[in-house]
């Protein structure tokens, strides 16, 4: 391959490609299915939402992107982060991946940090692991803290996690996640624990950082309104499956799946709360509990016996890709 062809191939490859991923815990008759046929793509520089009720499989999907599978998990399908085949990769390559090319931010910033280690150690360890000398790593950590809006970065380096508020600590975690300029950032409900103003600031920060490094972001949330507002594309997940994929802008005006419509109608969303989601009749199902055929049919106002015949195939409707046999009846 010529240098130019190589460069072009690098530019083309997706930050994340999850292709027909199915995941079960246990084997054979004891197998509990958790994900079925999940396909998610995130390009460099793109913000992609993954939305669904509690238990739909969002965190499992995001963690699978880094090869973090639950104990006893069996998978089929493929996960690639740039050119790495994640499900086939050994421990060392996964560790390198998480240190350098892909980062994850969780809902609870305290979960990412060791309470007895100083912020400075947390922020420099990724850089040190890549062979960056201590003084240079400290300088970069100071820059990052400044960029994420932490006042007195020198003081912050010496402090412990409990000395920060939740919003400030999430900024520190973002600084850590971005310290290695990752190609892929998995943000799992990164703003759910924050008040609305802080939430907006944190999202602004992610977007600014993204532009600087063309990071692909997978933004996991139960808040469809938020996802539709900030994401280029959104995947809607229900009971371990993707049921709709559409540009963020199209979801508000033309939802194609009855579940997406129900999520929108359950709003206005109460950020950081699950009030919006409880408003949909029935209980969210896990894949193991879901009915045969269309998983949503026992909660769907449009469902009849045809919906029990099989899992609806993916089809195009308007700007959406949707797994519903009658999206034309889903009026906004």
Ligand X SMILES: Nc1ncnc2c1ncn2[C@@H]1O[C@H](COP(=O)(O)OP(=O)(O)OP(=O)(O)O)[C@@H](O)[C@H]1O
Question: What does the binding site for ligand X look like in residue numbers (CB under 6 A)?
Answer: 25, 34, 52, 54-60, 70, 222, 286
Least Å from the CB of residue 130 to ligand X = 31
**Cβ-defined contacts of 69-72 (< 8 Å, 24+):** 69/23, 70/25, 70/34, 72/25, 72/26
Strand partners, 322: 244, 315
Per the CB < 8 A criterion, the answer to whether 236 and 244 are in contact is: yes
- Non-local (6+) Cβ contacts of 323 within 8 A are 241, 242, 243, 244, 257, 294, 311, 312, 313, 314, 315
User: Residue 278: helix, strand or coil by DSSP?
Assistant: helix
Please tell me the total number of residues recorded for the chain in this structure.
332
Helix, strand, coil shares of the chain, percent, nearest 5, are 40, 20, 35
* 192 belongs to the binding site for Mg ion (CB under 5 A): no
Smaller CB distance to ligand X: residue 34 or 205? 34
Hey, what's the torsion of the CAs at 155, 157, 160, 165, to 10 degrees?
70
Pattern 50-89, Mg ion, x by CB under 5 A: ---------x------------------------------
Residue placing its CB nearer to Mg ion in the complex, 59 or 295: 59
CA distances from 142 to 41, 63, 152 (A): 33, 29, 9
> Could you tell me the smallest distance in angstroms from the CB atom of residue 320 to ligand X?
21
Helices (H) and strands (E) in the chain, counts: 13, 12
Nearer to ligand X, 140 or 170 (CB): 170
Rank residues 34 and 209 by Cβ distance to ligand X and give the closer one: 34
Give yes or no for residue 295 binding Mg ion (CB under 5 A). no
Half-sphere exposure of 272 (CA within 13 A, CB side): 11
Q: Please work out the total of residues on this chain that contact Mg ion, with binding judged by CB under 5 A.
A: 1
**Smaller CB distance to ligand X: residue 70 or 247?**
70
| Shortest distance in whole angstroms from residue 276 CB to Mg ion | 16
Q: Which residue is nearest to Mg ion (CB)?
A: 59
In the complex, the smallest distance separating the C-beta of residue 263 from ligand X, rounded to whole angstroms, is: 13
**Nearer to Mg ion (CB atom), residue 58 or residue 299:** 58
Q: Which one of ligand X, Mg ion, none interacts with residue 52, CB within 5 to 8 A by kind? A: ligand X
126 binds, among ligand X, Mg ion, none (CB under 5 to 8 A by kind): none
Q: Which does 262 bind (CB under 5 to 8 A by kind): ligand X, Mg ion, none?
A: none
How near is the Cβ of 55 to ligand X at its closest, in Å?
4
- Which positions touch Mg ion (CB under 5 A)? 59
């Amino acid at each position: 391959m010529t240098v130019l062809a190589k460069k072009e191939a690098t530019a083309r490859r997706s930050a994340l490609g999850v292709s027909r991923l199915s995941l079960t815990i246990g084997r054979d008759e004891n197998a509990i299915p958790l994900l079925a046929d999940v396909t998610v793509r995130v390009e460099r520089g793109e913000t992609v939402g993954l939305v669904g009720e509690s238990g739909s499989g969002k965190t499992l999907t995001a963690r699978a992107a880094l090869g973090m599978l639950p104990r006893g998990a069996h998978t089929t399908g493929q996960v690639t982060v740039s050119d790495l085949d994640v499900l086939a990769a050994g421990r060392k390559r996964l560790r390198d991946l998480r240190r350098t090319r892909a980062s994850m931010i969780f809902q609870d910033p305290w979960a990412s940090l060791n309470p007895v280690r100083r912020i400075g150690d947390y922020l420099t360890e990724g850089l040190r692991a890549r062979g960056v000398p201590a003084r240079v790593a400290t300088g970069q950590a100071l820059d990052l803290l400044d960029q994420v809006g932490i006042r007195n970065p020198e003081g912050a380096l010496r402090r412990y996690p409990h000395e920060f508020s939740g919003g400030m600590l999430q900024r520190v975690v973002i600084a850590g996640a971005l310290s290695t300029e990752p190609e892929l950032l998995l943000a799992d409900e990164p703003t759910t624990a924050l008040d609305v103003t802080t939430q907006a600031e944190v999202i602004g920060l992610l977007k600014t950082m993204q532009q600087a490094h063309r990071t692909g972001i997978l933004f996991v949330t139960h808040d469809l309104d938020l996802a539709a507002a900030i994401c280029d594309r959104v995947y809607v997940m229900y009971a371990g499956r993707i049921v709709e994929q559409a540009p963020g802008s199209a979801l508000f005006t033309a939802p194609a799946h009855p579940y997406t419509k129900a999520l929108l109608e359950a709003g206005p969303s109460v950020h950081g709360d699950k009030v919006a989601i409880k408003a949909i009749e029935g209980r969210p199902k896990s894949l193991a509990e879901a009915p045969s055929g269309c998983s949503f049919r026992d909660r769907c106002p449009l469902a009849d016996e045809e919906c029990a015949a099989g899992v609806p195939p993916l089809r195009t409707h308007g700007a959406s890709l949707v797994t519903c046999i009658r999206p034309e009846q889903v009026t906004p």
